[in-house]
Amino acid sequence: MTDKPQKRGRPKNATSGTKKVKVDVDYTLWEDIGNQIRIDACKAVRVTKSGHPTSSSSIADILAVLFFHEKGLKFHPKNPKHFMNDRLVLSKGHAAPGLYAAFYRAGIITEQELFSLRLKDSIIQGHPVPSIPFVDIATGSLGQGLSVAAGMAYSSKYFDKINNHVYCITGDGEIAEGSIWEAAAFASNYKLNNLTLFVDVNALGQSQQTMYGHDVTVYEERFKSFGFNICSIDGHNIK
């Protein structure tokens, strides 16, 4: 095992002498992994007929890139608590089946553990808890994940002074929580450039459409006002 977390995925460019040679990238690898994460998540939910397959599916492609692209998470698959690992906080904790499916495909948990979702005595619960490898914080109470992720990023940058990165995935429903914006103000004030936030705008609320539906411009303007660098993407288009 190396001293630094592994880089995963494949390079985008190849070099020959001083001339850069552009290589066409086959994106089907990550597309296939994203689809496999969806399948695994739905199978896991089917075991106890309890869980959130739709919310899991909406972040499957994001998870595929984070866990299997060279620009994504840097971590030790066999040492998920390694100090230098990048961190991932799934603030929308109800999408845990998708996260567990990514864990399984990355070699962090076993197939047997994945399909023990919500069974008695299983470590794989309905929402992420720290007893699960690579999970640092219990989530599920919506709106808290960004605060924790910002705290981790602050600690890494100013106390531990290590070169890792913290990723946080939130849902558009929890963006209505005031704690999200307190955390956004904190992150901006301390210039946490080691923090990346994903807002999964799937327009799905508990009982109805979320406040702004698929209007991503609302979220863009709000986070820009807090000093965030914004990049709006199609979360299902790997390219």
- Cβ atoms of 99 and 37 within 8 Å: the answer is no
Q: At which residue do the structure tokens 């567990």 appear?
A: 100
pLDDT at residue 22 in the model: 52
Given a cut of 90, is residue 140 above it in pLDDT? Answer: no
CB 72 within 8 A of CB 66: yes
Question: In 3D, which of 92, 90, 97 has the Cα closest to residue 44?
Answer: 97
Band (2; pLDDT cuts 50, 70, 90): very low
Q: What pLDDT shows up at residue 202?
A: 82
Across 64-73, 98-107, 167-176, 202-211, least confident range: 202-211
Tell me the angle at which helices 60-68 and 96-106 cross, rounded to the nearest 10 degrees.
30
Three-class SS state of 194: coil
Domain edges within the chain: 26-225
> Please, is 29 exposed, middle or buried when counting C-beta atoms within 10 Å of its C-beta (0-12, 13-18, 19+)?
middle
3-state secondary structure at position 19: strand
* Predicted confidence band of residue 6 (pLDDT cuts 50, 70, 90): low
CATH 3.40.50.970 assigned to domain 26-225? The reply is yes
Q: What is the pTM of this model?
A: 0.86
Residue 176 is given by DSSP the state G
pLDDT (0 to 100) of residue 31: 93
The sign of the torsion formed by the CA atoms of 7, 166, 201, 173 equals positive
Per residue in 42-57, pLDDT (tens digit) is 999 998 888 889 889 9
Please give the pLDDT value at position 24: 66
DSSP state of 75: B
Phi-psi region of 210 (alpha: psi -120 to 50; beta: other; left: phi over 0): beta
CB atoms within 10 A of CB 39: 13
The 10s digit of each residue's pLDDT in 143-181 is 999 999 999 999 999 999 999 999 999 998 899 889 999
Taking phi first (over 0 means left), then psi (-120 to 50 degrees means alpha), and beta for anything else, what does residue 191 get?
A: left
Under DSSP, the state recorded for 7 is: P
